[in-house]
Amino acid sequence: MRAQLDDLQDNEAWPYFDTYNLHHYEALAAYPKLYGDHRSVSAGRPLWVTECAMPLRWTGDPKLEELSENDLRMQSERVAKVFCGSLHEGSAATFHFILG
């Protein structure tokens, strides 16, 4: 990932964007480095997290193609953590991924 971010920096892409958008599916412990790496190439533009969540091992019924009750509860507990972590790391806007 760092190599791609360095390429972005080396190519001086910042005149071509008003916001710096990123997607991530990372554990909370990885947020400081993840956001720091992206912030370092954002040229001071506002960070928009346009898709995010935390990895969840799906255990639902394959016939229903829906999350199990336990998965839904676990995911709901993570939504607030994802938003808080993202905002703490300086995002100007955060959008949680939901397939629906």
pLDDT grade for 35, boundaries at 50, 70 and 90: very high
Task: Write the secondary structure of the chain as one string of H (helix), E (strand) and C (coil).
Answer: CHHHHHHHHHCCCHHHCCCEEEEEECCHHHHHHHHHHHHCCCCCCCEEEEEEECCCCCCCCCCCCCCCHHHHHHHHHHHHHHHHHHHHCCEEEEEECCCC
pLDDT mean over 55-71: 82
pLDDT grade for 55, boundaries at 50, 70 and 90: confident
pLDDT mean over 14-22: 95
Domain borders along the chain are 2-96
pTM of the model: 0.84
| pLDDT tens digits, 84-99 | 999 999 999 999 877 6
